Amino acid sequence: MKAPLDVVTRFVKAWNAGDASAIGELFADDADFVNVVGLWWTSRRAIRRALKRGFNEWFKGSEFTVEKLSQRLVGEDGAVVLARWRIDGQTDPAGAPAPARRGVATVVLQRLEDGTWLCVAWHNTDIAAAADTNLIIDGVVTPTSYLDHAGDGS
């Protein structure tokens, strides 16, 4: 992977093949991965194990696409990539098809001595349509908009 964006491209290819091992190879041994609900895995092995379970169950046959990418180099050996993504084909706990989801990944990469790039941190968040924030309502995280309550909208 000679460029930071190559890591995301390979992630997408491996996801769509259901290949947790190939995704694991994109990460440093001590990488961090935070999923959309805040579960935090702290090693390549844990990331691989979590994704393998997902590919065997709720993400089996799913398709991951990237809709928008941006890259910012941080010094000579660091980069941050933002990727707006979409997942189609996820299933619910009963195995029924779930609607497509969209989200954003923040990916932190480090260039190694041989010039290749590895992911050291990956954080996902779902995009909650028509929401500005989340509130806890009756113990449930609920996407909420303050814009509807802004008075005259100015």
DSSP labels, the chain? --SHHHHHHHHHHHHHTT-HHHHHTTEEEEEEEE-TT--EE-SHHHHHHHHHHHHHTTTTT-EEEEEEEEEEEETTTEEEEEEEEEEES-B-TTS-B---EEEEEEEEEEE-TTS-EEEEEEEEEE--TT-SEEEEETTEEEEE-SGGGSTT--
Bridge partners of residue 44, in order along the sequence: none
The predicted structure's pLDDT at residue 146: 85
Tens-place pLDDT, residues 79-117: 999 999 999 999 999 999 999 999 999 999 999 999 999
pTM surpassing 0.85? yes
User: Mean pLDDT over residues 62-68, rounded?
Assistant: 98
For residue 148, give every residue at least 6 positions away whose Cβ sits within 8 Å of its Cβ, in sequence order, or none. Answer: none
- Structural domains in the chain, sorted by start: 4-149 (3.10.450.50)
Tens-place pLDDT, residues 111-146: 999 999 999 999 999 998 888 888 999 999 888 888
Mean pLDDT, the chain, whole residue set: 94
Quick one: which of 124, 120, 122 has its CA closest to 27? 120
Quick one: which of 52, 23, 50 has its CA closest to 34? 50
